[in-house]
Chain A
Amino acid sequence: MSAEPDAVRLPPAAMPAAYDGSAATTAVKVGVGQAAAAVARISDRGARIVAVTIALVWHLAIGLPAVLGARTELAVPQVVVGGWVLVAAVGVLAGVRLLRDTPLPAPPLAGLLLAVDVAVFAAVGRTHLFSPANWVWGTLAWFFLVVLWGRPVRWLLALLAAHAATALTAVALYGATGAADLARAAMALYGTSSLPVAVFAGALTLAMLSRDRAANAAAANAMSAEREAAERARGERRGRLALASDAATEVLTELAQGRADPSDPDVQRRCVRAAGRLRRLIAESDDVPHPLLHELRAAADLAERNGLPIDLVTIGTPPPLPVQIRRSLADPLTATLADARDWARLTIVAGPDEVVVSLVTPDRAGPDAIGPPTEQGEEQVEHLYERDGEIRWTQTRWRR
């Protein structure tokens, strides 16, 4: 016999499957956000493929021939071709990452694209300012789209504004300030920007709508699962209430009719048991019990059916806990509870960062309850067991 608390690492012992029934509710609740995000991602995928394809196909099919065809007439052909190659590489890389749901960071890529924009305008020369060989007019806006996918529209608008400023500055510096040239510049800017903006904004809106719809559907599912669990819990509770009131009515009737003697220890025990059972039912204020409480209540009910008066007091609400931790918290107590005699006090004190479960039963001669094997411990759960001649005290404690 030892009064020294000894810390024992806990094993995940097998738990009756029925106890895990209400765990689904918590899981559904947690899943609402994730499900909505997943649906939004999937519905966004088509638009992403379109954007990447348009950018690369345009770049390859229209930009490249024009650049190669006019190569000898450009002011600094190396810069124009080099810019084309650089943007093609960026487009492929960013496109692949985007389609794999791991987009590259936008700011450095956007900066790179703008730098290429300036360089190509500077290197293209007056002759090809408005020709297809100045490929940045047509293609760059689509690459903005690929790089900025999923960001707010204002980012895209800002980049397009910077692109327009670069273009107009170039037009002015090349001296192409005639009415026809200005009109061409304006048309080119408008024509190459409006479609990307529409695609971008449309995709954002669609993603948002589908995310909302998915979230609504998931919330409705979660609610109906919760309602089902609550109804099941209420049914169970009603059953236990019937059991408890029958026992209480019986003993009260016998007392009233004088058939039972209040000084009889057996009658007193029955009263204690009936009162304890009713008290526990009154204390259950949760619609859907936390799985841990559910497990402990089930264990308490079982012990009580075997004739053990038991006090079960819960303070606070446990946070969602992985099954492993829940088992490490409950198993040592349910094992000791099965071995308890005379009375038992089971308490749960829970907060967001800590859950402490304790079982106190009177100590009596005899060997210790055979605890579960101690391999495969759950490190976050501390287990204390001690007997001091007065009480046997089992405590498990989880800290975040």
Chain B
Amino acid sequence: MDADALASMTPGRPVGVAIVDDHPVVIDGVRAWLASEPRLTVLATGDDPDEVLRAAPGADVVLLDLRLHGRVMLDKLAELSAAGRRVVVYSEHSDPQTMLAALDAGAVAFLAKHEGREHCVATVLDAASDRPYVAPTLAGAMVGDSRPDRPMLSDKEREALLLWFQSMSKASVARRMRISEHTVKQYVDRARIKYSRAGRPAATKAALLARAIEDGLIRPEEIGIYRSQAASDWPTP
């Protein structure tokens, strides 16, 4: 795990963002979205993840287009996530399988390109502090997940995800479920945290879990089936 990449944010220092995309016009567009937020600064851009990260080794968040030069970058995504890079994937491929595969590979968040304008800044800010951000399209993929090894979501979590996917308005979901907006976000985020326990382990997933426990979103005993990779290293009595 890259300790620098996962170091908690220093207050006052803006969040460094690296953008990887093979379309300059998209890079310009994303840069324009992020420019509206003073807490964010774009450190490097380009169409090759390795080069971009060489140029900006201290980037807190990597925005990665999932398809670069015609290749789907799931392997690269897994490699970066395993090394502790917080990767926010954005893609025009917003089919549920692709989104869930990206989460499995360790992406901190997934944005469909068409929802970038509204959700990009919030996603990057949350990602920088290892907090989950679930945009509506991802919520849809999670609620429609029918894989046999999918995480078990509670009824409320499913309902919150479903309504958030449908309405794209947390206020409306809150009214419909007769709970507060804060609680809606909690249900959605808890569902997302359950996904950080699925699939192969990654430093970013561990960081999401740790932060969720720290924030009181889940209790350590709720982790249940999640087994630390260190457990097998313990000496047997």
Contacts and interface: CB of A to CB of B under 8 A. Distances in A.
Interface of A: 3, 5, 275, 279, 282-283, 285, 313, 315-316, 345, 347, 349-352, 356, 358, 360, 386, 388, 390-391, 393, 395
A315 B165 CA distance: 11
Contact of A391 (B92, B140, B172): B172
Given A315-B96, A386-B176, A393-B172, A350 B167 contact: no
B169 A390 contact: yes
B137 interface: yes
Interface stretch (B51-59, B61-69, B118-126, B141-149): B141-149
Contacts of A358: 166-167
B176 A393 contact: yes
Interface string B128-169: 000000000100110110100000000000000010011111
8 contacts: A5-B176, A282-B92, A345-B166, A347-B165, A356-B162, A358-B167, A360-B172, A388-B171
B175 interface: yes
A315 B168 contact: no
A360 B165 contact: no
A395 B166 contact: yes
A275 B166 CA distance: 20
Interface in B69-97: 92, 94-96
B169 A347 contact: no
A347 B141 CA distance: 12
A352 B176 CA distance: 25
A315 B175 contact: no
Contact of A315 (B140, B167, B171): B140
A321 B162 CA distance: 21
A94 B166 CA distance: 59
Contacts of B137: 313
A5 B92 CA distance: 34
Contacts of A351: 144, 146
- 4 closest Cβ contacts across the A-B interface? A315-B144, A358-B166, A316-B144, A315-B140
A391 B168 CA distance: 10
Contact of A313 (B140, B171, B172): B140
A279 B165 contact: no
A276 B168 CA distance: 16
B175 A347 contact: no
Interface string B186-212: 000000000000000000000000000
A313 B162 CA distance: 12
Contacts, number: 61
Contact of B167 (A3, A313, A352, A391): A391
Contact of B169 (A285, A315, A391): A391
A388 B172 contact: yes
Nearest to A356: B162
Contact of B141 (A315, A345, A352, A356): A315
A315 B143 contact: yes
B114 interface: yes
| B96, B143, B172: residue with the most chain A Cβ atoms closer than 10 Å | B172
Given A315-B96, A349-B165, A360-B166, A390 B144 contact: no
Given A315-B96, A315-B143, A360 B167 contact: yes
B175 A316 contact: no
Given A3-B175, A351-B144, A360-B172, 15 more contacts: A283-B94, A285-B95, A313-B140, A315-B96, A315-B165, A316-B96, A316-B146, A345-B168, A350-B144, A358-B166, A360-B166, A360-B169, A388-B172, A391-B167, A391-B172
Contacts of B166: 345, 347, 349, 356, 358, 360, 393, 395
Given A275-B114, A279-B114, A390 B162 contact: no
Nearest to B168: A345
| A285, A349, A351: residue with the most chain B Cβ atoms closer than 10 Å | A349
A393 B172 CA distance: 9
B184 to A, nearest CB: 14
A362 to B, nearest CB: 10
A345 B172 CA distance: 14
B167 A393 contact: yes
Contacts of B146: 316, 351-352
A360 B96 CA distance: 21
A349 B114 contact: no
A388 B175 contact: yes
B152 to A, nearest CB: 15
Contacts of A356: 162, 166
A352 to B, nearest CB: 8
Contacts of B165: 313, 315, 347, 349
A346 to B, nearest CB: 9
A390 B140 CA distance: 21
Contacts of B175: 3, 386, 388
A283 B95 contact: yes
A336 to B, nearest CB: 13
Contacts of B167: 345, 358, 360, 391, 393
A360 B176 CA distance: 13
Contact of A349 (B143, B168, B171): B143
Contacts of B94: 283
B164 to A, nearest CB: 11
Contacts of B171: 388, 390
Contacts of A349: 140, 143-144, 162, 165-166
Contacts of A3: 175
Contacts of A345: 166-168
| B94, B162, B166, B168: residue with the most chain A Cβ atoms closer than 10 Å | B166
A312 to B, nearest CB: 12
Contacts of B162: 349, 356
B95 A390 contact: no
